[in-house]
Amino acid sequence: MPTNQFAYGVIGAGSFGTAVANILAENGNVLLYTRREEAYQNMLQDRISRNQNLHANIEPSIDAKDFCRRCRLIFPVVPSAGFRMLMQQFAQYLQPHHILIHGTKGLNLNTPDGHDIHPGKPIPRAHIHTMTEIILQETVVLRVGCLSGPNLAKEIAQGQPAATVIASRFTEVIEQGRQALKSPRFKVYGSHDVSGVEFAGVLKNVMAIASGMLHGLGLGENAKAMLISRGLGEMIKIGRELGADATAFFGIAGIGDLIATCSSSLSRNFSVGYRMATGEPLSDILAGMNEVVEGINTVKLAKGVSLYYQIETPIVEALYQTLYNNQSIQDSLAYLMNYAFDKDADFM
């Protein structure tokens, strides 16, 4: 690839980042950035990342300065826990002409003094930062968007049809992102509701863990349907308190993503819930996974928001007790079935 030619850029060579890079490569040259020397060398030598063959138009990158110089449209796809540090690292090389569309379904929690919030404590909106907000806080980039939807990386890598949403305040960001990702197998929708799309994509991970638990217990479609419908209601309640419009929760990035991750063993969050229900300790499960399970931290966040804004979210409460207070999954299920709450669609 000529060094003076602008390319699409992807930061993060995980499963989804690699899948995004391969789609982009159908429409132009792509730099795929990793900070790990071993991963960089493997991509150079074997042309493989996360068991995915790299398109001929993809060039591995490990040089942040060169990456930012050669790319205008950049897709950061890295775990939320390291997202702020990554933006701080790239900030010195990013300019106002850059466009960033992140694909991270997670949130950053901290207090004004920089300390983590203790599990089980109320959490106000002021202590919650989306990845879009982090980009705006840490860099001079203004044209920012997020990429969210039912995007299981393995299915995308196999060339199966999928859809996603690009959300941004700027129509230009949506259109450039759509142009870059255009593909007969990848449908891209647009939205100006950044908060709604972002929070919907984050909160569905909570319900995916719960769905995996139901599957691990051997429960059927009735139980899963009940979880998805009631879970959507809790997502909307929390999202509203965080400033999101409920409309996005009924679209591809909301109910679409929720159905996919609550139904597939390809979802990391679903897989964790399933394995817990079959008897594996959470610590052992997480220790053996090579990619981050965003839903674990999101349960803590959702619990804290529910406490602060005094909203009823029994599924979140049951999951929180299971993940953080060692309550058995069977007791959590009993809690939900006996919960004194019988009005349907109470989130409308």
- CATH number reported for the structural domain that contains residue 251 in this entry: 1.10.1040.10
Tell which of 174, 194, 214 closes a domain.
194
Tell me: do 176 and 204 sit in the same domain: no
Average pLDDT over residues 58-75: 97
Residue 319 pLDDT exceeds 50: yes
Structure tokens at 317: 């409460």
Structure tokens at 323: 């993940």
Residue 101 backbone class (left: φ over 0; alpha: ψ -120 to 50; beta: rest): beta
Separation of alpha carbons 296 and 324, rounded Å: 10
pLDDT in tens, 92-119: 999 999 999 999 999 998 765 555 556 6
Please confirm, yes or no, whether 204 is among the known catalytic residues. Answer: yes
Tell me: do 17 and 149 sit in the same domain: yes
Residue 197 pLDDT exceeds 70: yes
Residue 15 pLDDT exceeds 70: yes
Q: What domain range includes position 130?
A: 7-194
Residue that has been written with the tokens 């049951």 in this structure:
318
**Out of 105, 121, 204, 237, which one is annotated catalytic?**
204
Q: Where are the beta strands (DSSP E) in the chain?
A: 7-11, 30-33, 48-49, 52-53, 58-61, 71-76, 99-102, 107-109, 128-130, 143-148, 162-168, 186-191
Q: Are the C-beta atoms of 61 and 41 separated by less than 8 Å?
A: no
Tell me: do 183 and 229 sit in the same domain: no
| pLDDT reported for residue 118 | 63
Tell me: do 30 and 19 sit in the same domain: yes
Tell me: do 159 and 203 sit in the same domain: no
The verdict on residue 45 lying in a domain is yes
pLDDT in tens, 20-51: 999 999 999 999 999 999 999 999 999 999 99
Tell me: do 92 and 164 sit in the same domain: yes
Element (H, E) at 233: helix 221-241
How does strand 48-49 pair with strand 52-53? antiparallel
Tell me: do 118 and 65 sit in the same domain: yes
Domain count, the chain: 2
Tell which of 159, 194, 229 closes a domain.
194
How buried is residue 45: exposed, middle or buried, by Cβ count under 10 Å (0-12/13-18/19+)? exposed
| Mean of pLDDT over the chain | 93
Tell me: do 143 and 228 sit in the same domain: no
Tell me: do 30 and 161 sit in the same domain: yes
The verdict on residue 1 lying in a domain is no
pLDDT in tens, 263-283: 999 999 999 999 999 999 999
